[in-house]
């Protein structure tokens, strides 16, 4: 009886810690998205968008290491969080340096395994019917990632990131039994719509002769 009580207590503590982590992540993401247009280094915006797409591929494939992709994304969020003016004005210089160093170290620790996760995620997605929502979504994201992403405006990048996060969270909640499949369908629809809007905007720039990019390879 005491052993069962101890197990229940440990499970409760783990749930509380997980909820606290998710709350902190979402708070920092809100701060980063609010300041997204003010980052001087465009590489930060592109890195966050690319991390969101990677997480989405892993979620669509139900990859066993999709949590690593989620962590990778939120480590970039942590990095950018420590570069916002709100945070700079709140934390000490030492706290800022430590926060940035910790985020960079965590990113580099996870980076080596991301290629394998993406490769196996694509392999699993390609096994699906061509009209399956996961495959259609992945193909649209592939087009965006391989041709349009680096040319997209910051507002469109921000919208894409939001849609990726919403879809990934809907998929994860569905796995946990806490969200209906209709939430995934709605999230997919919004993501595909915003990804198409981003891609169309870049294609319009190409037609106007302002950009020149190669056609994307198939997924």
According to the model, what pLDDT value does residue 66 have?
96
User: Is pLDDT above 90 for 16?
Assistant: no
Contacts made by residues 89-97, CB under 8 angstroms, sequence distance 24+: none
- What's the start-to-end Cα distance of the chain, in Å? 54
DSSP at 112: G
Comparing C-alpha atoms, which of 71, 62, 59, 61 is closest to residue 167?
59
Comparing C-alpha atoms, which of 125, 207, 189, 195 is closest to residue 159?
195
Q: What is the pLDDT of residues 162-184, one digit of tens each?
A: 999 999 999 999 988 877 889 99
Q: What is the pLDDT of residues 124-160, one digit of tens each?
A: 999 999 999 999 999 999 999 998 999 999 999 999 9
DSSP SS3 for 211: coil
By the 8 A CB rule, do 165 and 172 touch? Answer: no
Mean pLDDT of 11-27: 80
What's the token pair of residue 109? 């620790």
User: Is pLDDT above 80 for 4?
Assistant: no
Query: Would the CA dihedral through 203, 206, 207, 210 be positive or negative?
Result: positive
Mean pLDDT of 73-102: 95
Residue 101 contacts by C-beta under 8 Å, 6 or more apart in sequence?
A: none
DSSP SS3 for 173: helix
């Amino acid at each position: 009886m005491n052993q069962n009580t101890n197990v229940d207590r440990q499970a409760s503590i783990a749930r509380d810690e997980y909820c606290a982590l998710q709350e902190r992540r979402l708070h920092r993401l809100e701060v980063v998205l609010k300041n997204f247009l003010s980052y001087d280094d465009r590489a930060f915006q592109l890195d966050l968008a690319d991390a969101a797409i990677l997480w989405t591929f892993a979620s669509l494939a139900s990859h066993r290491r999709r949590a690593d992709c989620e962590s990778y994304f939120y480590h970039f969020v942590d990095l950018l969080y420590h570069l916002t003016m709100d945070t700079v004005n709140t934390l000490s210089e030492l706290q800022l340096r430590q926060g940035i160093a910790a985020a960079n170290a965590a990113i580099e620790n996870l980076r080596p395994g991301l290629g394998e996760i993406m490769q196996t995620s694509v392999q699993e997605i390609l096994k699906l019917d061509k009209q399956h929502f996961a495959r259609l979504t992945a193909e649209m994201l592939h087009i965006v990632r391989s041709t349009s992403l680096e040319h997209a405006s910051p507002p469109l990048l921000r919208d894409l990131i939001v849609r990726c996060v919403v879809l990934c969270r809907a998929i994860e909640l569905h796995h946990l039994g806490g969200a209906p499949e209709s939430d995934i369908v709605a999230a997919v629809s919004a993501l595909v719509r915003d990804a198409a809007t981003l891609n169309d905007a870049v294609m319009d720039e190409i037609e106007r002769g302002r950009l020149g990019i190669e056609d994307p390879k198939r997924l």
